[in-house]
Amino acid sequence: MQCQKCAKPATFHITDIIEKGKHREYHFCDEHARQHLAPPEEALEAPSMSEIAKKLVSQPASLREPSPADKQVCPVCQITFLEFRNSGRLGCPYDYEVFREELMPLLENIHGETRHSGKVPRRAPRNTQQQTTLIQLRNELKRAVAAEDYEAAARLRDQIKTIEKEQGR
């Protein structure tokens, strides 16, 4: 796609919202996008659009004050709510209970519901208590290996294998 003001390739696609429900799309090269977004007197001194985009992407997390919820830690997998916010992934099934207050509005906003009403994968764990135990054992195994306690690591590995064998894996 070409820039709407010159023959260069359009690298920025800007949507201006005019009124509720009405918008206008622009396709500009770096130079014309800078002119469109910046007032005329600042256009000569303005940084490139790629620099502006990088700052916009990196700033929100750094500007936001950490909330008390961000410091919550799951006792099973040791993930914090802040880590979940950054990665978008929970560490274990128990996180849904630990972070319940923060997750419920988020899940309802994303999915429109807070209860699963579809199919369940065939390989889904039948016993959540065993699953929780497995997660704890795997975390302990990682700590034992990091501490170079190989005897404890071997014992934990054997416990994990036994539980996995019981589950039919």
Q: Each residue of 85-117: pLDDT tens digit?
A: 888 888 888 888 888 888 888 878 877 777 777
Per-residue pLDDT at 11 exceeds 60: yes
Q: How many CA atoms lie within 13 A of 86 on its CB side?
A: 12
Give the residue from 25, 24, 26, 32 showing the smallest Cα distance to 6.
32
Instruction: Tell me if 24 is assigned to some domain.
Output: yes
Instruction: Tell me if 18 is assigned to some domain.
Output: yes
47 vs 153 pLDDT, higher one = 153
Q: How many residues does the chain have?
A: 169
| Residue type, position 96, single letter | Y
Which pLDDT does position 48 carry in this prediction?
66
Q: Which residue has the tokens 């039919």?
A: 168
Instruction: Tell me if 7 is assigned to some domain.
Output: no
CB atoms within 10 A of CB 110: 8
Q: What's phi and psi for 74, nearest 5 deg?
A: -75, 130
137, 163 Cβ separation under 8 angstroms = yes
Q: Choose one of 63, 81, 99: the last residue of a domain.
A: 63
Same-domain pairing of 80 and 57: no
How sure is the predictor about 167, in pLDDT bands with cuts at 50, 70 and 90?
Answer: confident
State the chain's mean pLDDT as an integer: 80
Strand partners, 23: 17
Instruction: Tell me if 35 is assigned to some domain.
Output: yes
Instruction: Tell me if 46 is assigned to some domain.
Output: yes
Range in 5-19, 25-39, 45-59 the model is least confident about: 45-59
Same-domain pairing of 19 and 55: yes
In the three-class reduction of DSSP (H, G, I as helix; E, B as strand; rest coil), residue 166 is classed as: helix
Same-domain pairing of 18 and 54: yes
Same-domain pairing of 32 and 16: yes
In the three-class reduction of DSSP (H, G, I as helix; E, B as strand; rest coil), residue 144 is classed as: helix
Same-domain pairing of 29 and 51: yes
Same-domain pairing of 56 and 82: no
Instruction: Tell me if 94 is assigned to some domain.
Output: yes
Domain that holds residue 132: 128-166
Instruction: Tell me if 27 is assigned to some domain.
Output: yes
Number of domains in the chain: 3
How sure is the predictor about 161, in pLDDT bands with cuts at 50, 70 and 90?
Answer: very high
Averaged pLDDT, 123-129 = 68
Contacts of 120 (CB under 8 A, 6+ apart): none
Structure tokens at 6: 């010159």
Instruction: Tell me if 122 is assigned to some domain.
Output: no
Burial 46-55 (b: 16+ CB within 10 A, else e): eeebeebeee
